[in-house]
Amino acid sequence: MKKILNPTRTEWANVLKRPTQTFDDIEDTVKQIFREIQQEGNKAVKKYTERFDGVKLEDIRVSEEEIEKAQELVSPELKKAIELAKNNIENFHAAQKTERVSLETIEGVQCWQEKRPIQKVGLYIPGGTAPLFSSILMLAIPARIAGCEEVVLCTPPNKKAEIDPAILYTASLCGVKKIFKVGGIQAIGAMSFGTEAIPKVYKIFGPGNQFVTVAKQLATKYEVAIDMPAGPSELLVMADDSANPAYVASDLLSQAEHGTDSQVILVSTSEELLDSVSEEIESQLKQLPRKEIAQKAIMNSKLILVDSNEKAMDLINEYGPEHFILCVQNESFFLDGIANAGSVFIGNYTPESAGDYASGTNHTLPTNGYAKQYSGVNLDSFLKSITFQKISEQGIKNIGPAIELMAEAEGLQAHKNAVSLRLKDLDQNE
Annotated binding-site residue numbers for NAD(+): 124, 186, 209
Enumerate the known binding-site residues for Zn(2+): 255, 258, 356, 415
Main-chain dihedrals φ then ψ at residue 239, nearest 5 degrees = -140, 150
For residue 68, indicate whether it is catalytic.
no
At residue 96, the 3 state secondary structure works out as coil
Amino acid 51 reads R
* 234-239 and 263-268 beta bridge pairing: parallel
Contacts of 148 (CB under 8 A, 6+ apart): 117, 118, 119, 120, 121, 382
Strands (E), 271-420: 302-305, 323-327, 343-346, 383-391
Enumerate the known binding-site residues: 124, 186, 209, 233, 255, 258, 323, 356, 410, 415
For residue 323, indicate whether it is catalytic.
yes
CB-CB neighbours of 342 under 10 Å = 26
DSSP string, 304-345: EE-S-HHHHHHHHHHH--SEEEEE-S-HHHHHHH--S-SEEE
Check 322, 352, 408, 430 and give the catalytic one: 322
CA distance 192 to 286: 42
At residue 270, the 3 state secondary structure works out as coil
Look at phi and psi of residue 78 and say left if phi exceeds 0, alpha if psi is from -120 to 50, else beta: alpha
Check 234, 257, 280, 323 and give the catalytic one: 323
Give the number of residues written for the chain: 430
Strands (E), 80-232: 101-106, 109-117, 120-124, 150-155, 178-181, 203-205, 225-226
* 120-124 and 150-155 beta bridge pairing: parallel
Q: How far is CA 168 from CA 88, 208, 305, 373, in A?
A: 20, 18, 45, 34
Give the active site residues.
322-323
